[in-house]
Structure formats: structure tokens, C-alpha cells
Amino acid sequence: MGLEAARARLLDSLSQEISDKRVLSAMAHVPRELFVPPECYRAAYEDMPLSIGFGQTISQPFIVALMTQALELKGDEKVLEVGTGSGYQAAILAELARWVVSVERIPELAKSAKEVLKKLGYTNIEIHEADRVLGWPSGAPYDGIIVTAGAPRVPQALLEQLKLGGRLVIPVGSRWEQNLLKVTRREKQNVVENLGGCRFVPLIGEGAWEE
């Protein structure tokens, strides 16, 4: 099957479970094949995670769509992504929000993500090498935060970077499997929804896992 047919099949399957039309249209628009290693080119539109080197992965398209939908983006938001990886999720966010800040702890991945996003012409994404503190506090507050690596608990440092009423989408559980949580920040008690099981590489850092 050619790439275009594979992309159409993937979009068709995503549309069975994802209702946000803006998310589906961003997924239709961003060329995932440019974010995967050349040897994975033909698998770019299979609904699965793929290796991007350094022991890391580009997430499964369904999970990207589910997490993005949970942010409820309307177009005017400033969003933080923790875990740039290939840069694919950052591109999806850039299609749907006003400004995207994305942090990555592996310098080589941050560099190649920057290159591909520049080549695609995105001007509303800034990528930083991650600091010791989770996230990017100097850009806070954010309307939404998406964490694309699994944490042992919801990190307080990230909640503090989120606006009141903002959404944090994060896999929480063990090093090997997690539940995808959507946390809406409220003045008194945050609202937590469980979006289902998932498997992510570990989030490394203060308030998360040891390397």
C-alpha cells in the first residue's frame, strides 16, 4: 500500500474514536513520514509507535490524537509539551494552538526536531533542552500541558506552570505501563479523568523517574 492510501486508512480509523474535527484535520495535514527515521518511512501511517533512536519513540498516532483532543484547543492557547522526541506532536499542537513551547532532554533529538519543524515552516514553536526542573517555568503559565513520557505521579512542578482552568495530559503509573490522565486545574480541588491505559518511555527528572 502506498503512503497516501495508508494515511487515508489511518485517518479513517482515527475518526471512529476521535470526535474533534480540528485534531483530525491536523493529523491529516502533518507529514508523519518526515518525523520518523528513513528506514521506517513506509510504516509512518501504521497506528503504532516507532523507534527514533536513543531508546525513544514517536508515539502511536491514536495516542497523539487522544492526548491532543484532551487539551481542548480552540486556537488561542499557549501550550507546553514535555518530551519533544521527533517533533511530530509539537507540529500537531502548532496547527491547533497559538504558541508551543516544547522541551526535550536529549540534545540530539531536540536538534533534529528543530530542523524538521523549521523545514516545514513552523514559526510558532520554540524548542529547548530540558532543565533540571520539569517543564519550562519561564514560559508559564500555560493553557495546556502535554507530557509525552510516563511519570510516577502528577508532578507538582507542572501543575504550578498550568493556568487555573488549564488542562494537563500525562501518563501516570509504573515505568512500564500507565494510565493517561487529564487533570483540569481548579482553585480548590483539581479534576482528574482517566482516559485509559497506555505505555510510554519514562519521564526522567526531578519529581519523576531516575535515569
- Partners of 79 in the β-ladder: 100, 144
CA nearest to 180, candidates 200, 165, 155, 158: 200
Give, rounded to a whole angstrom, the gap between the first and last alpha carbons of the chain.
40
Instruction: Output 6 or 100, the one with its CB closest to ligand SAM.
Output: 100
Tell me the CA distances in angstroms from 101 to 2, 12, 152, 195, one per residue in order: 34, 30, 23, 24
In whole angstroms, give the CA distance from residue 40 to residue 99. 29
Is 59 annotated as catalytic?
A: yes
Residues 95 and 43 sit within 8 Å (Cβ to Cβ): no
> Are 102 and 81 a contacting pair, CB within 8 Å?
yes
Question: Closest CB to ligand SAM among 153 and 186?
Answer: 153
Please identify which of the residues 13, 15, 19, 59 carries the catalytic annotation. Answer: 59
Closer Cβ to ligand SAM, 187 or 209, answer by number: 209
Residues near ligand SAM (CB under 6 A): 56-59, 82-83, 85-86, 88-89, 103-106, 109, 130, 134, 148-149, 200-201, 203-205
Which active-site residues does the annotation give?
59
